[in-house]
Amino acid sequence: MMVNWVLRGAVLLWALFFVIVGARGLLDPASYTETFGILVEGPATNTIRADLSAFFLVAAGAAALGALVPGWLRALLVPAALYGTALVGRLFGVASGDPVNTGIIQAMIIEALTVALMIGSWWVLSRPQAAAGSGEASVDTVH
């Protein structure tokens, strides 16, 4: 089905973007300052380099696996869980009185859209095909 290819393509574009964000932060942690407003200095540099880059690279890798490898669709739930947890943390922060600016709102929108894309893609791609001979492998179905 064409929808399946469109979803796989959207997930792969999403993964490419976040591989770039993660790799850029791994090589230059100060890039997280301009992107996220995080002060990167002293020993915190190592933690920011490792933890934020791991978040983005693992999420992107799991999304790419889910989109490309038949039978690994559940890998799409990894970025959904990571970004969903981040969104819940942000909502908790807002409810606790944390300062909010347009960057935080933008991040919350991206996180919500990521959860929707990953869960929606997993849901659609894991459904048995309605018509035989649609070109999709049956190994991509969840029983």
Instruction: Report the pLDDT value the prediction gives residue 37, as an integer from 0 to 100.
Output: 81
Q: Kindly report the pTM of this predicted structure.
A: 0.85
**Per-residue pLDDT tens for 8-49?**
999 999 999 999 999 999 999 999 988 888 888 999 999 999
Q: Which tokens is 4 given?
A: 């399946």
Identify the residue with better confidence: 65 or 138: 65
Residue 132 — pLDDT band, cuts 50, 70, 90? very low
Identify the residue with better confidence: 40 or 123: 123
**Per-residue pLDDT tens for 44-97?**
999 999 999 999 999 999 999 999 998 999 999 999 999 999 999 999 999 999
Q: Which tokens is 47 given?
A: 């933690």
CA distance 37 to 142: 41
Cα dist from 38 to 31, 89, 92, 100, whole Å: 9, 16, 19, 14
Per-residue pLDDT at 137 exceeds 80: no
Per-residue pLDDT at 128 exceeds 90: no
